[in-house]
Amino acid sequence: MFMSDNGAEASRRDLVPPISEHVGNEYDHSLENLGSANTYVMYGSNWANASSSPHFRRKATAFEGGIKVPAFAHFPRLIAPGTTYRGSVVVPIQGRSLLPMLAGETGEVHPPDTVLGWELLGQRAVRQGQWKIVCDQRLPPAQRRWQLFDLAADPFEQHDLSSSNPERLATMERLWERLRRGERGRVLTGLSGGRRAARRTAAAPRRRGRSSAHRRAANA
């Protein structure tokens, strides 16, 4: 199975050390050489947004352009799951198997009422069925709030319904609070810089939850 890990990259790491020190030396970024093994080309935020189209935004956001990625699977035969590996016990996998969907036995992996949540560097979202709320941490502090989208009618997140459908917004906010408190899933923390990320997100209203460098909530 192959799957991209995230949406299009918007940063320009090729312009800052240590990568920039190799451009013009080991890396040849001439137009004729682009795409060769000795290139490290990054195209910035505008092209990243274009590469994510028709979905909105890009990597490191909780919009569809940051979390909806291409994937494909090929399995000539199945391998029986093991319970140990090199003398260590294999921890049982949580979640639902993709196999019934890949085998054509069902059209979906999760039932419609499944709650899924994401958070990365303060960028957060919750989805249940066709409904999704997103908090865009890159906006100025005074503008940070939950946005509500109906992905069935608006899969590219162009129309914020938070003002016209406050009841659904409130329902989704309650789901976020349950995820944040660990009532409906598990919170994973990881990457370094968590304290810096927490300070960056502290300006957001309390109801949107606290943040660490990398917290991801998945439905149990």
* pTM to 2 decimal places: 0.70
Amino acid 184: pLDDT: 55
Q: What are phi and psi of 216, to 5 degrees?
A: -130, 125
Amino acid 4: pLDDT: 81
56, 123, 196 from 136: Cα distances, Å = 12, 6, 17
- Cα–Cα dist 102/2, whole Å: 14
Amino acid 185: pLDDT: 54
Domains and CATH numbers, the chain: 1-74 (no CATH), 112-220 (3.30.1120.10)
pLDDT tens per residue, range 184-208:
555 443 333 333 333 333 333 334 4
Q: What are phi and psi of 214, to 5 degrees?
A: -155, 105
19, 30, 44 from 204: Cα distances, Å = 34, 44, 27
Annotate 197-210 with b (16+ C-beta within 10 A) or e (fewer). Answer: beebbeebeeebbe
Amino acid 183: pLDDT: 60
1 exposure class (CB count in 10 Å sphere: 0-12, 13-18, 19+):
exposed
Contact 10, 58 (CB under 8 A): yes
- Cα–Cα dist 156/138, whole Å: 19
pLDDT per 10-residue tile (average), the chain, 220 residues: 83 85 83 87 84 87 89 84 89 86 89 90 92 92 94 96 97 93 54 36 38 37
